[in-house]
Every structure is written in structure tokens, then in C-alpha cells.
Amino acid sequence: MTLADTDFTFVTGMVRQRSSIDLQPGKEYLVESRLAPVARKFGDKDLTALVHRLRRNDREACDAVVDALTTNETSFFRDQHPFDAFSNLMLPELKRNGGPTVNVWSAASSSGQEAYSLALLLLDWLPMNPGKTARIHGTDISPTMVARATAGKFSQLEINRGMPVKYLVKYFDQVGRDWIVKPEVRALTSFRQGNLAMPPVGLPPIDIVFLRNVLIYFDLPTKRQVLANVRKALKPGGFLVLGGAESTLSLDGNFARVETEKVVIFRNGGGT
């Protein structure tokens, strides 16, 4: 199924307006291949018919298209080093100087693997730190991903991508061919829909934010806006963890760079 140039411009404009995801010319194949199943779902014979539907402002179709154009690639303990820094650097710092509740934000949480990885590390840490509690707040723009993360149910293939056996046996129940997180893991987590380009709502002051592998989808002004929004939620001195290919450099001067052996993290300098 192919997309006319004017339809590509219309679709990418609509997606940018709703999600800030920046799809430049050159991404025609990606857009076409992601929209073909949406057209089939709505019974449209081709992408032109689907775009007519979008132009009529069919809410369900618009939501489905934005959903289809988000890239949800993720895995448990993705890249490992940020999770080591979480356990070895950030949590000890919060033990010394933090409040009674450690609030972690998994911003752009996709299907939940990042949030649940952090929850498992916290389940190791909390018993050694009596008096401390923790919450992990997952947000994502995609309602489908929020529903998947909330379900906490993963296929064997997803489990194979990064879940250590010691955590699998302790914290997951096998249901048919899938694995579901146990209640004590779920109890630490919650997931909600949220657009990072908008000021955050409903979050407590955050100690640590994992904002990984999502800035890459935004244009420059949006990257700056997202980092400013993150700072609104992050406590002064709070930690920011980005993806391996991402940095605050030349985007936001209010973050201080902290180089650890294997990973660079950032701390909120508290500017406005």
C-alpha cells in the first residue's frame, strides 16, 4: 500500500501535532508499512481511504495511527549499565540523602520492561533499607503500551530478552506460554498515558527519571521542551538517565553531567 505525497504530509503533521514524533520525508516506507494494518483493521481498501477517514477527524482512526507510528522497542535491563548505576550509585545516594519514598519515573515506559526491571532491583534493595518505600511511575503516549505494561504479561520471547533466571523464578508466574509479574512487583508500579511534550501531571516529586530512547524521535525544540518538562517533575539533585545515543548537551544547561565508569547520567541543577 502506498501513500500519496500530500497524504504523507497530512499524516506526519497530524502525528507531530498529537505526539511530537518527528517523521521527516524519507520515512514514507515506515509510515506505509505501519499504516497498512490500521487500514485493514478499519476495513479501508487502501491508505487513501484511511487518510480520508483521518481527514474527517475520525478519533478512533487518528488514535490508532498515532499508536501505530510509535516505536515501542524495549527489553528487560536494556543496556544493563544504567541499571547498575541505579543500584550502585543512585539508590545509595538516596539512602543517605533522600526521603522515605523513592519515586522513580519510567518516562516512555513502552510495554513496561524498564519499569519492571527497576522494580526488581528495588525489591532487592528495600529489605536492606527498613523505613524506605518505593514507587515506579510509568508513562507512555500509546494507550496500547500502557495497557500492556499494566497487564504485566510477557511472552517467552520477551522474557528471553534480558530477564535473569533468578528474577524470573522469584517474581513471575507462568500462565500458559506467558509470564505474569507477581503481585509484589505490580504493587510497586503504576502506568498511565502521558505526553512528554506536555507538562507532567499527577506525578509526585521524582528522585530518578529514566527517559531512554525517546528523545531521538523528537525535533530540537521538542527535545528542549521535554527536558524542561522533566525538570518540573524532578527534585533538585534528582537523577536523569537517557539512552546511550542521547544527551542533554546543547539542549538544557540545567543538568550536570556525572560520568561513571560505564554510563553517563545527569543531575538536575535545579534551574527553572
Ligand X SMILES: C[S@@+](CC[C@H](N)C(=O)[O-])C[C@H]1O[C@@H](n2cnc3c(N)ncnc32)[C@H](O)[C@@H]1O
- Residue placing its CB nearer to ligand X in the complex, 213 or 248: 213
Pairwise CA distance, residues 76 & 113, whole Å: 5
Report which of 188, 66, 51 is spatially closest to residue 116, judged by C-alpha positions: 188
Residues 210-229 that bind ligand X (CB under 6 A): 212-214, 217
Q: In whole angstroms, how close is the CB of 221 to ligand X at the nearest point?
A: 13
Residue 50 within binding range of ligand X, rule CB under 6 A? no
- The residues, ordered by sequence, that sit 6+ positions from 97 with a Cβ below 8 Å of its Cβ are 237
Residue 195 within binding range of ligand X, rule CB under 6 A? yes
**Other Cβ atoms closer than 10 A to 28:** 14
- Residue placing its CB nearer to ligand X in the complex, 132 or 240: 240
Q: In whole angstroms, how close is the CB of 272 to ligand X at the nearest point?
A: 22
Task: Name the residue type at position 110.
Answer: S
Q: What x-and-dash track marks residues 52-81 binding ligand X by CB under 6 A?
A: ------------------xxxxx---x---
Binding residue (CB under 6 A) for ligand X from 11, 12, 14, 20:
20
Report which of 63, 60, 71 is spatially closest to residue 30, judged by C-alpha positions: 71
Residues 117-146 that bind ligand X (CB under 6 A): 140-142, 145
Q: Mapping DSSP to helix (H, G, I), strand (E, B) and coil, where does residue 107 land?
A: strand
CA 204 to chain centre: 17
Residue 114 within binding range of ligand X, rule CB under 6 A? yes
- Count of positions on this chain that bind ligand X (CB under 6 A): 25
* Cell numbers linked to 54: 483521518
Q: What x-and-dash track marks residues 223-262 binding ligand X by CB under 6 A?
A: --------------------x-------------------
Region for 152 from its dihedrals, namely left if φ exceeds 0, alpha if ψ lies in -120 to 50, beta otherwise:
left
- Residue placing its CB nearer to ligand X in the complex, 55 or 192: 192
Q: What is the DSSP letter of 249?
A: T
What is the per-residue DSSP string for 66-132?
HHHTS-----TTTTSHHHHHIIIIIHHHHHHH--SEEEEEEES-TTSHHHHHHHHHHHHHGGGSTT-
- Residue placing its CB nearer to ligand X in the complex, 21 or 123: 21
Binding residue (CB under 6 A) for ligand X from 11, 14, 90, 108:
108
Q: In whole angstroms, how close is the CB of 129 to ligand X at the nearest point?
A: 26
- Could you list the residues that contact ligand X (CB under 6 A)? 19-21, 70-74, 78, 108, 110, 114, 140-142, 145, 194-197, 212-214, 217, 243
